[in-house]
Amino acid sequence: MEAPATAAANNCGPATTAAGGSGAATTAAPNNDRADWPTKLVLAAVPAEQDAQLQESYSVTVQILSDELGIEFDFFQAADYAGVIEALIAGRVDLAQFGPFSYVIATANGAQAKPVGVMTSEKGAEPGYQSYLVARTDNSEINTLNDILGKRVCFVDPGSTSGYLLPLAGLLDQGIDPEKDTNSIFAGGHDASVLSVVNGDCDAGFAFDSMVTSLLIDRGEIEEGDVKIVWESPIIAGSPMSMRTTLPQSLQDAIEEIFLNKINVDWAAANGYCDSPDPIACSFSDEAIWGYTAKGDDFYDGIRLLCRELGAERAPSCEGI
């Protein structure tokens, strides 16, 4: 299947730096274990939203990592999902926040990486989320998947789990081939997909759940009730923060300890990085999350299985998986 054509948070402030305040740097590993540590690391994230907002969304995560490790961080900005995938494969980034599908694509194509933590909405909760298909609330013509036949439909990116892979599977299950049966458009981001629906550039669009239900509303970019949810996917395995396994082992251990114990709303609020332990007010990413939990690579075997069932002919991004 050919790719569709391309369519034309409220973050809490970081804590004071190591010079003072409750967010002062701590030693994540003994100094004698740091001899082979780099002086700078690069964190990247797939562009689920507009460029300026994406970097801002990760500012607290970057600040905590920098303070705790004593290492400078750069944020890598890619134009699309493929740019981040290729950068991790090439070793140009050290940490990459992916959706599950992008992580699977990267590791299937040579990225030496593993999940260092997986996003979860609540402490102790199984990490997962959903894809939504939305239409304008005042659009009486679209109320089911079958109603998008012949309509302009926004997907997000060929590497997006909730913005492409799960929607594709859902449509094919209903006998709908988006290439033949709809006017499919890649919006480039989850926010752009929803906003294209609200603005009338698409009749319906796919995006991850909290982008629809909270993030765009809290930013004032859409009003509650502007869109209706037409379809919901099954639960998707939560999104991983991926780490290069070629980093020094002591550094890998330190990064993992930070993600699993300190990059969460409770620790961040208690240590001055956020004003309150609220996932909307205390943002670690482009999603409203509590923090991260531990999961292994096999957590994403379901995505691999779905890719094999669809096949590369119907889902070109699944090639090689």
Mean pLDDT of the chain: 89
Alpha carbon distance 54, 57 (integer Å): 5
pLDDT greater than 50 at residue 26: no
pLDDT score, position 299:
98
- With tokens 């939990």, the residue in question is 293
Contact 98, 242 (CB under 8 A): yes
pLDDT score, position 51:
61
pLDDT score, position 49:
63
Contact 127, 296 (CB under 8 A): no
Q: What is the distance of C-alpha 38 from the center of its chain?
A: 26
pLDDT score, position 283:
85
| Cα Dmax for the chain | 66
Where is 95: in which H helix or E strand?
A: strand 95-97
Least confident of 3-12, 128-137, 282-291, 300-309: 3-12
Beta partners for 206? Answer: 133
- The DSSP line for 237-253 is EPPEEEEETTS-HHHHH
Q: Residue 236: what residue type?
A: I
From residue 244, alpha-carbon distances to 64, 131, 133, 272 in Å are 19, 28, 34, 29
pLDDT digits (tens, 9 = 90+) for 259-278: 999 999 999 999 999 999 98
Asked if 9-126+238-316 and 129-236 have one fold, the answer is yes
pLDDT greater than 50 at residue 8: no
**Which residues, other chains included, contact 91 with Cβ-Cβ below 8 Å and sequence gap of 6+?**
112, 244, 246
Alpha carbon distance 261, 106 (integer Å): 26
CATH fold group of domain 9-126+238-316: D-Maltodextrin-Binding Protein; domain 2 (3.40.190)
Where is 190: in which H helix or E strand?
A: helix 190-199
The pTM of this model reads 0.86
Contact 17, 68 (CB under 8 A): no
Q: In sequence order, which ranges of 212-319 are alpha helices (DSSP H)? A: 216-218, 249-261, 265-270, 301-314
Alpha carbon distance 89, 107 (integer Å): 8
Domain chopping of the chain, boundaries: 9-126+238-316, 129-236
pLDDT score, position 252:
98
Alpha carbon distance 114, 302 (integer Å): 16
pLDDT digits (tens, 9 = 90+) for 72-92: 999 998 889 999 999 999 999
User: Closest by alpha carbon to 112, among 137, 149, 147, 87?
Assistant: 87
pLDDT digits (tens, 9 = 90+) for 82-118: 999 999 999 999 999 999 999 999 999 999 999 999 9
Alpha carbon distance 135, 153 (integer Å): 10
Alpha carbon distance 95, 242 (integer Å): 6
Beta partners for 44? Answer: 76, 96
Alpha carbon distance 158, 147 (integer Å): 23
List the CATH code of the domain at 129-236: 3.40.190.10
**pLDDT band at 32, cuts 50/70/90?**
low
